Structure 1
Amino acid sequence: MVKIKSDIEGFQATRPVLTMGMFDGVHKGHLALLTSVIEKARQINGESVVLTFWPHPRIVLSQEPEKLRLLTTLEEKTRLLSEAGIDHIIILPFTKEFSSLTAQEFIQQHLVDKIGISHLVAGYNHRFGHGGISRSGLEKLAQEHHFGLGFYGPVVIDGVKPSSTTIRRHISDGDVWEASRFLGRYYSIKGRIVGGKRLGRQLGYPTANIRMDDSIKLIPHDGVYACKVHLLGKSYGGMLNIGGRPTIDGENSEKSLEVHIFNFNREVYAEEIRVEFVARTRPEIKFSNIDGLKERLRQDEVEVKSILLEKGVLPPR
């Protein structure tokens, strides 16, 4: 059972093997690194530790925080790290004072004095501490403080190194299928169902309107998506629209997330809903009239169900 701490004081672990970073998305590259940490901990009869930070440094350091959108909320990241098999997760509050620590100070005050590190596994491109530290500098500190040091990566998938930045770009472009290849799972959002204008019902496609749980979570590009919906303890196929409904509300209408859930006829409000994005089928289109929109929705249903059937989200007919 994973142990999660939001305070480093009083931390205890047997021969801690540690890695650290933001781990936004907990993608395939991260997972390979975490597996390496777990294997090293087993080799020395120790325990695996992930040290991560919250909030994101860009928010604290005012580096265009209004533009920052993340792949995982803190809750999602913690769950994914736990599922990877890590023994301990430390969520260290990131502050301006903390950001001013040099790598040497950070290692001495946190990794050595408070965690009692036995071994550090660093990502191949990981930098930390005010001003950063070179690989040779880190090796020297490891010798001085008598802990083991290893570097991991890079992981390469079809010639590409998975990174949170690359995955964010794919999702921002609407290419959720490509993002899922690097994540190792479908990208998902979570929120609550709220009341809408009930226009979907008039079109023959009633929708659940989703209000996101966390405003910092990245929303895919506008358009129509084939998706998997988790609601009331069950899973369904669905088609989701992200955008402003230009045919009905005009060009400058407010953006919404609405999902039509296949084989689901209940009206539910305030319930938690999670949506996994399988593939984007088309951009948002402004139609000349409602009949054109209805006809396109019928086409969307056929296309989306075909994709979900192919990907195993919907059971075979």
Structure 2
Amino acid sequence: MVENFIPNFFEGRVIHGRKIGRTIGFPTANLHLNQELEKQFLKGVYGVEVYHKGSIYHGVMNIGVRPTFKDIKPSISVEVHILDFKQDIYGDCIGIEVVCFIREEVPFKSKDQLIQQLNKDIEQAWKMCQVRGKFIKKPVLKNNVTYI
């Protein structure tokens, strides 16, 4: 259970990141947030709804230091994998509504383990949004794993 106060809604500008997510099949929108807002979140994975130019999408957000991809100088990143979304939104401002906390951020021994967990995270986010009655369609399954 998350003890910290978690903002229900916030906005951030999409910035260029390291582009690691796209290399493993999970492109992300990296967000620039002020440090005070970042401090309010427990490091981990969240189910979210994303608001962009009048449309609502669903996604999975990670806030943390990406421990699987060891950086020389780890820094906090906020990145959202938006489901069923293939647009270039660099520089755009997007709104994020936090639906649920899924898990704390943990390092994985391999990219394959991370990918397996990301698929589980997406499934969990989908279930939580379905409980809220907001998810319209289930993520597509390919090769017996959830993939968007």
Q: Which interval holds the TM-score relative to the shorter structure?
A: 0.7 to 0.9
Report the CA distance between 1:252 and its aligned residue.
Answer: 5.6
Structure 1 or 2: larger helix share? 1
1:228 and 2:54 aligned: no
CA offset at residue 259 of structure 1?
Answer: 0.2
2:142 alignment counterpart: none
Change (3 A) 1:228 1:251: farther
Q: Deviations over 1:93-117 (max 9, x none)?
A: xxxxxxxxxxxxxxxxxxxxxxxxx
Q: State how far apart, in whole Å, the 1-side matches of 2:90 and 2:19 are.
A: 13
Q: Distance in 2 between matches of 1:257 and 1:197?
A: 12
Q: Give the aligned length.
A: 135
Aligned partners of 2:11 and 2:95 also within 8 Å: yes
Matched, 1:311 2:132: yes
1: CA distance, partners of 2:123 / 2:131: 12
Partners of 1:203 and 1:223 lie apart in 2 by: 19
Q: Give the match for residue 268 of structure 1.
A: 89
3-state SS, counterpart of residue 69 of structure 2: helix
CA distance in 1, matches of 2:42, 2:72: 16
Supply the distance in 2 between the matched residues of 1:254 and 1:268 (Cα, whole angstroms): 23
Q: Aligned-pair distance for 1:301?
A: 1.1
Answer whether contact 2:4 2:42 (CA < 8 A) is retained: no
- Give 1:278's aligned residue: 99
Letter aligned with residue 4 of structure 2 = H
Q: Following the alignment from structure 1 to structure 2, what is the Cα–Cα distance between the partners of residues 206 and 265? A: 9
Q: Which has the higher strand share?
A: 2
CA shift for structure 1 position 251: 8.6
Flag the 1:258–1:246 CA change in 2: closer, same or farther, 3 A.
Answer: same
Corresponding residue of 1:299: 120
- Deviation of residue 170 (structure 1)? 3.1
Kindly report which structure 2 residues correspond to 1:83-102, keeping only aligned pairs within 5 A, or say none: none
User: What's the TM-score once normalised by structure 1's chain length?
Assistant: 0.40
Which structure is larger by alpha-carbon Rg, 1 or 2?
Answer: 1
Any idea what SS the aligned residue of 2:58 has? strand
d(CA) in 1 for partners of 2:27, 2:64:
16
Instruction: Compute the RMSD of aligned alpha carbons.
Output: 1.9
Please list every run of at least 4 consecutive aligned residues from structure 1 whose deviation after the TM superposition is greater than 6 angstroms. none
TM-score by length of 2: 0.83
Give the letter aligned to residue 285 of structure 1.
V
Q: Return the letter of the residue paired with 2:124.
A: E
Structure 2 unpaired stretches of 5+: 139-148
Query: How many Å apart are 1:253 and its aligned residue?
Result: 1.2
Look up the SS of the partner of 2:97 in the other structure: strand
Structure 1: runs of 5+ lacking an equivalent = 1-168, 177-185
* Residue-by-residue CA offset, 1:161-189 (whole Å, 9 max, x unaligned): xxxxxxxx632xxxx4xxxxxxxxx7112
Find out whether 1:170 has 2:8 as its counterpart: no
Q: Deviations along 1:132-185, whole A, 9 cap, x unmatched?
A: xxxxxxxxxxxxxxxxxxxxxxxxxxxxxxxxxxxxx632xxxx4xxxxxxxxx
Percent of aligned positions that are identical: 30
Residue by residue, what CA displacement relative to the aligned partner does 1:204-263 show, whole Å, maximum 9, x if unpaired?
Answer: 110000002x44335311000001111122111110000000001259611100000111
Cα distance in 1 between the residues matched to 2:73 and 2:109? 16
